[in-house]
Structure 1
Amino acid sequence: MVTQEHESLLSETERSQGRVALRNNVAAASALADAVRSTLGPKGLDKMLVSGEGGVTVTNDGVTVLETAKVEHPTAKMLIAQSSAQDREAGDGTTSTVILTAELLQNALELIEMGVHPTLVEKGYRLASKEAMSHLQQMSKEATEEDSLRSVMTSLSGKSDEGVRHHLSQLAVSAATSLATEVNGKIEADPTLVKKVNDGGRPSTESELVSGLVIAKEPIHTEMKMFPDGGKILILDGGISRRKPDLDISLKVTTIGMTSALNAQEMADIQNRVDIIAATGCNLLCARDGIDDDASNMLLAAGITSYRRIEKPDLELLARTTGALVVHEPTLAKPEDLGNFTSLNTQNWNGVSQMQLIGSEKGGLTLIVRGTTKTRIDEVSRGFDDASGVACGLVRDPRILPGGGATQMALARHLRKIAPTVPGREQLAIEAFSGALESIPRILSENAGLSPLDEVLRLNAAQEEGGDWIGLNMYSGETESMYDAGIIEPLVVSLNAISGAMEAAVSVLRIDDVLWANQDPSIPDWEKSDGSVGET
């Protein structure tokens, strides 16, 4: 029995149930997919994103388009979250994930309109996804070093020109190789260990990868020395300055010399903190906040080279590449908090002094992003993010699949063969899953100006004769071996895209009731508008 209180709550709520709710959710997913479908593939078009402040971004990167858009519908937000997860896990396949999810939902809606229950559609989708994962493993090949480079270049198709794509791909593969390290018996490579520094006014093909972390800072004192042979570093999430009282107080000077005595006490406090830092044996101090001039002279006398006002992300990168623990207060510093670095030097680029540190831990690289304009620099930076994500993914799992829609077509053909072996209405869902997979080669053809229907039929026939690695070459318009054409992609991209799209679609299918609260946020009864507290 619904209580009177619940009836009052629902009276202030807009409610959609059953198939109406599903239709609305599928419409939202389809609208989101339509916003990025024209960006898919090497012939995909760009989107111009204009922010509320008038900033302009031109890109065909699906996840950038989705994360920049202002979306209110909860289903659309779910798809954007799934696309972002795909970007973090695989570094590519974000647009494919959204398109597959929308196609799965559209096909599921058709089945439900025919009378198939959503739980049966879910069961069929899960069976199809499991079978697809197994077939992907069988299709995959081990990647050589050359394959890794070609796979990274495929991920950048349609982004910038050929020369920049090739250059960024080489940088990304080089970075992934340098970052590769063994963790718990597995090879890992973390692309977030690469710091980016912008350097405008030069061609993008002159972007370069340098060892160590480069930070636009100079020592707080000109006489502080560098350590080209390495040393120990202390990272301080704070500063060294005169302490200020927490309360707003006034001091009344009644005795001559009281001010100088207070100043002497403050100097003694700073000296004590510097002595504690020096006692740890560190050679280099990097602080997030300011360091007073008095402290600067004391650190110079102690032989400690110091940098101040370093951004928090840079501090975290320094900690990860040197193995140091971040200390929040100088008086808490201990020798075991120190990290190690193998080299500390200073560089000067375009009149800006740069600190260059190479940590003892494997990793810590800096990409000097160059471009003639800010828009160009941003484009190169996003391209390297995608490329490094794919390259690092290949370090973790060096298996590859064909591109050009070959993988999705091969899976669709395989699922259609096994669908009749599944009893019950679940086989209809498997057929629907197969149809959703065919949307990828169909949209690739459409974006290349080809006939979607003709190309899908031609690819289907070509794979029947030549095998699963036959795909569509959008540059030549022919069907050929994707391995020979160098159009390949990491296995992990397809694994994550298909499983993620299936999970997102199932999550939406299980929703049969959507409640939208109409009432605006209100002040609780126990807090009055004048700030007083009422009875509870």
Structure 2
Amino acid sequence: MALHYLNKYGLLGVHLSSKFELRRISKAVNGTVLPRLIPPTPQELGYCDLVCVEELGDTPLIAFRQESKESRIVTVVIRGATDNYMDDIERAIDDGVNTFKCLARDGRFVPGAGAVEAELAVQLLKYADTLPGLEQYAVRKFATALEAFPKAIAENSGHRATVVLEKILDAHQNGRKNEGVDIESDNATCDTLEKNILDLYSCKYWGLKYAVGAAATILRVDQIIMAKRAGGPKARKPAGSDDES
């Protein structure tokens, strides 16, 4: 019945296979999704400058285009030779979009390339020397865990991680707080601010906060209860049922 009236009045009908696509289209045209078939109000109707059928490669698609600056959604089309290549591009774009979103909320940056973690490790080691008893051992282990960040960057770059880590820690102990891993030179370090290697402050803050929270949660576990297998015990085989060789 719906197709009859669409054909009669020259309306375009679009078949949507998921609620995700329905929500995206409603956001693109600034419309309201109606749970039942009723006449929409002017406030519920959306608007789109152009709705057309196009082809992208060999794939036909229906494009909703908003020519004005009031568009609330943008689609980025990724094309590549292999799935792995497109996955890498998708992750890079996703990281860039999330970085921009975080910048809109908090525009602060910190030195990258492992410089922040190395400086925190050095400061924690100094702080551990002021603590009595067993507390200093916990602080020292936390500082050692932070050293894994620049070490991992050096290993992934093909450098000797221990050599690079020693150079970075020595630089931070001498007051060069911005020293990080230089992936372009063999087993070398660099000033991250001079090379414009920066990380988001909010990313570092929440990453360290959640990591500490997860570690503290594990340390607070004082009892583990093993659940029994559901269904009760296995049925016993009757005597003499085993096959004789």
TM (norm. structure 2) is: 0.81
2:20 to 313, 319, 343: 313
2 CA distance for matches of 1:329 and 1:357? 26
> Counterpart in 2 of 1:357?
65
2 CA distance for matches of 1:404 and 1:507? 29
> Counterpart in 2 of 1:336?
43
Q: After TM superposition, give the deviation of residue 377 of structure 1 in Å.
A: 2.4
Q: After TM superposition, give the deviation of residue 423 of structure 1 in Å.
A: 4.9
Q: After TM superposition, give the deviation of residue 456 of structure 1 in Å.
A: 1.7
> Counterpart in 1 of 2:238?
none
2 CA distance for matches of 1:445 and 1:411? 18
> Counterpart in 2 of 1:471?
180
SS of 2:177's partner is coil
CA change 1:293–1:319 in 2 (3 A) is closer
CA change 1:332–1:510 in 2 (3 A) is farther
Unaligned runs of 5+ in 1: 1-240, 242-291, 523-536
| Counterpart amino acid of residue 344 in structure 1 | L
The structure in which a higher percent of residues are helix is 1
> Counterpart in 1 of 2:242?
none
1 CA distance for matches of 2:145 and 2:220? 19
The structure in which a higher percent of residues are strand is 1
1 CA distance for matches of 2:120 and 2:17? 50
> Counterpart in 2 of 1:296?
6
1 CA distance for matches of 2:12 and 2:32? 18
2 CA distance for matches of 1:336 and 1:448? 55
> Counterpart in 2 of 1:433?
142
SS of 2:103's partner is helix
SS of 1:356's partner is strand
Q: After TM superposition, give the deviation of residue 344 of structure 1 in Å.
A: 1.5
1 CA distance for matches of 2:123 and 2:9? 69
Aligned 8 A contact 1:406 1:468 in 2: yes
Task: Report percent identity of matched pairs.
Answer: 25
Superposition RMSD in Å: 2.5
> Counterpart in 2 of 1:30?
none
CA change 1:383–1:349 in 2 (3 A) is same
CA change 1:326–1:424 in 2 (3 A) is farther
1 CA distance for matches of 2:38 and 2:51? 28
* Structure-to-structure mapping, 1:79-158, within 5 angstroms: none
SS of 2:217's partner is helix
- CA displacement, residues 170-206 of structure 1 (integer Å, 9 cap, x when unaligned): xxxxxxxxxxxxxxxxxxxxxxxxxxxxxxxxxxxxx
| Counterpart amino acid of residue 65 in structure 2 | L
**Higher deviation after alignment, 368-377 or 445-454:** 445-454
2 CA distance for matches of 1:472 and 1:365? 36
SS of 2:208's partner is helix
Aligned 8 A contact 1:321 1:360 in 2: no
1:397 to 103, 106, 123: 106
1 CA distance for matches of 2:189 and 2:69? 49
Aligned 8 A contact 2:109 2:199 in 1: yes
Unaligned runs of 5+ in 2: 233-245
Q: After TM superposition, give the deviation of residue 314 of structure 1 in Å.
A: 1.9
CA change 1:476–1:387 in 2 (3 A) is same
CA change 1:337–1:360 in 2 (3 A) is farther
Which one has more relative contact order, counting CA pairs under 8 Å at least 6 apart?
A: 1
1 CA distance for matches of 2:65 and 2:198? 36
2 CA distance for matches of 1:348 and 1:429? 61
Q: After TM superposition, give the deviation of residue 488 of structure 1 in Å.
A: 1.7
Q: After TM superposition, give the deviation of residue 332 of structure 1 in Å.
A: 6.1
| 1:483 counterpart = 2:193 | yes
Q: After TM superposition, give the deviation of residue 473 of structure 1 in Å.
A: 0.7
Aligned 8 A contact 1:322 1:360 in 2: no
| 1:376 counterpart = 2:85 | yes
Q: After TM superposition, give the deviation of residue 394 of structure 1 in Å.
A: 2.1
| Counterpart amino acid of residue 514 in structure 1 | I
- CA displacement, residues 271-295 of structure 1 (integer Å, 9 cap, x when unaligned): xxxxxxxxxxxxxxxxxxxxx4312
| 1:457 counterpart = 2:163 | no
| 1:408 counterpart = 2:114 | no
| 1:497 counterpart = 2:207 | yes
Q: After TM superposition, give the deviation of residue 508 of structure 1 in Å.
A: 0.8
2 CA distance for matches of 1:349 and 1:452? 46
Q: After TM superposition, give the deviation of residue 425 of structure 1 in Å.
A: 3.4
> Counterpart in 2 of 1:322?
29
CA change 1:395–1:443 in 2 (3 A) is same
